[in-house]
Chain A
């Protein structure tokens, strides 16, 4: 008993007496803000850090290649990529390509969204509709989109319609399922209360479930828009007379590697820009969410 008591006392003394305590590393000091856990980064730190990320990527690239000799065609110098970029910006082609790809993506994606979101809401709201729509949708969504290209060409030819259709097929099924999931995630008490306040079924679906699920649906749209760009490029690689994907294939045929890089940069920047638009709209539309829609 005595021994234990002595042990406890020593332990307590060690906790209290700073001289006996094991040296710890400045435990009283808060870590710098950019390393703090669970805290928002100050807005002005965001841009420099993002720019640094890009610079790092460019630095790694610049450090990579053997700048002269045969490998110039594989990993061209930054200067030649810059020159190709400048040429592309001056030439009409780039703008025509961007315009075509953009219109194809937007047409297919908008059609998919207009149909899939309401259907997804219904599937999320009514078990019977979910049971009807979801199994075939799940099946179709696992068919890889590139595998559909030959069939799409047989059905819709090689014109604009084919590319739009491919984008539509690539995003419609995903969107439907993601929307239904978001609607099912709306808390049940919200439904109970709506019913007890006198809402009928239609009002519950469109005035309660839909707005409640809308932030989630919006981020599903944002993701699907990204995928839509992959599908359009795949479609253009196969058969097109303009568009970003088509042009990249052309550059490949003439071994204009710097131009390929320039176009990839354009694709990346387009994606970044669209993503920003989706996020900014979300912040504006969904100020009411606890995170302020961000």
Chain B
């Protein structure tokens, strides 16, 4: 297992006693797997992100990476947030190169590697389509471009796990779609184990191998769903696919707090039979 979470829970003690942010959670993530954590805001997704990244200790349970307990943050886990986190005083290229200049990463890849570093920075900048903007400052870029630079910077140290907390949440719909396509492209070429926090059902379905659906605060896992669309078929077009929509409807019912069985029972109460129900579903 790449990542395993055992009874990971978090509560904060405040004036009104302890607030439970995240109910104890068990989860295993396989190497190269893309997992979407889907839930309403405030469901503890971001808390989970902090615990997995080692930025905040969990108050219960433990997070392990490759069987080793995560105690603090490090270059093995790449982070990406909704707010852009580029260093504003560095150009785009300097931002992407920054992690390589840190003592710890120099120690990991030592010796005369300057050229190789520069080549790596260049290939990543080309990959995210920012090579022409390499000398610009972050403030001169659009929101989507900034997030692409953040992605390149996260990938430059070859993290083993990528933790993305609503990374496209602040972007407009079209840019968002472009970023999703870029991420799909990246996933296809470098399989990186990814935890992707989102509120967007479409986004979760489009990107993930597996979706973990959370309830409202305190975050509790409602369901874990496998997403089986072929990787090659994943593009914005897929969002219009029958099977895609079917799964989306199912997830939305879950999120509304009405599991499918309940929905069915409601419909039966309104005098619909199961067959009618299925016909109705086929027609819509």
Give A contacts to B, CB under 8 Å: 187, 189-190, 192-193, 195-200, 203, 208, 211-212, 214, 286-290
Bound form: Cα–Cα A197–B103 in Å: 11
Candidates B98, B139, B157; contact of A289 at CB < 8 Å:
B139
Give the distance to chain A from B39, nearest Cβ to Cβ, in Å. Answer: 21
- A193 partner, pick from B81, B103, B137, beta carbons under 8 A: B81
**Residue from A190, A199, A289, A290 within 8 A of B85 (CB atoms):** A190
A198, closest chain B residue (CB)? B75
Q: In the complex, which residues of chain B have a beta carbon less than 8 angstroms from the beta carbon of A290?
A: 139
Structural contact, A203 and B103, CB atoms closer than 8 A: yes
- Residue numbers in A under 8 Å from B139 (CB-CB): 288-290
A212 touches B89 (CB 8 A): yes
Report chain A residues within 8 Å CB of B87: 190, 208, 211-212
- Chain B residue at minimum C-beta to C-beta distance from A286: B89
A-B contact count (CB 8 A): 70
Q: Is the beta-carbon distance between A198 and B104 smaller than 8 angstroms? A: yes
Partner of B81, one of A189, A212, A289: A189
Contact B89 A288 (CB under 8 A): yes
Rounded to whole angstroms, the CA-CA distance of A189 and B90 in the bound complex is 16
Set of chain A residues within 8 Å of B138, measured between Cβ atoms = 288
CB atoms of B88 and A197 under 8 A apart: no
Contact of B252 with A by CB under 8 A:
no
Instruction: State the Cβ distance, A192 to closest chain B Cβ, in Å.
Output: 5
- Interface band, chain B: 20 to 34
Report 9 cross-chain contacts, Cβ distance below 8 Å, ordered by A residue: A195-B55, A195-B72, A195-B74, A196-B55, A196-B73, A197-B105, A197-B153, A197-B154, A199-B102
Q: In whole angstroms, how far apart are the Cα atoms of A195 and B163 in the complex? A: 14
Residue of A nearest to B140 (CB): A288
Chain B residues near A214 (CB, 8 Å)?
89
Contact with A along B126-142 (1 / 0, CB 8 A): 00000000000111000
Flag B53-96 by CB within 8 Å of A: 1 or 0 each. 10100000000000000001111011101010101111000000
Residues of A within 8 A of B163 (CB): 196
**B99 part of interface (Cβ distance < 8 Å):** yes
Which listed residue, B78, B83, B90, touches A196 by the CB 8 Å rule?
B78
Are B78 and A189 in contact (CB-based, < 8 A)?
A: no
- Bound Cα distance A288, B102 (Å): 22
A200-B73 contact in complex given A192-B55, A192-B79, A289-B88, C-beta closer than 8 Å: no
Docked CA distance A187–B81 (Å)? 13
With a cutoff of 8 Å between Cβ atoms, the chain B residues found around residue A208 in the complex are 87
Give Cα distance in the complex from A212 to B98, angstroms: 14
The answer to whether B103 touches A196 (Cβ under 8 A) is no
Q: Chain A residues with Cβ under 8 A from B99's Cβ? A: 197-198
- B88 neighbours in A (Cβ, 8 Å): 212, 288-289
Counting chain B CB atoms within 10 Å of each CB, the highest count among A193, A195, A214 belongs to A193
**Chain A hits for B154, CB < 8 A:** 197
Given B81, B89, B102, which contacts A197 in the complex, CB threshold below 8 Å? B102
A190: chain B residues at CB < 8 Å are 85, 87
CA distance A196 to B79 in the complex (A): 7
Q: Are A196 and B74 in contact (CB under 8 A)?
A: yes
| Bound-state Cα–Cα, A115 to B17, Å | 43
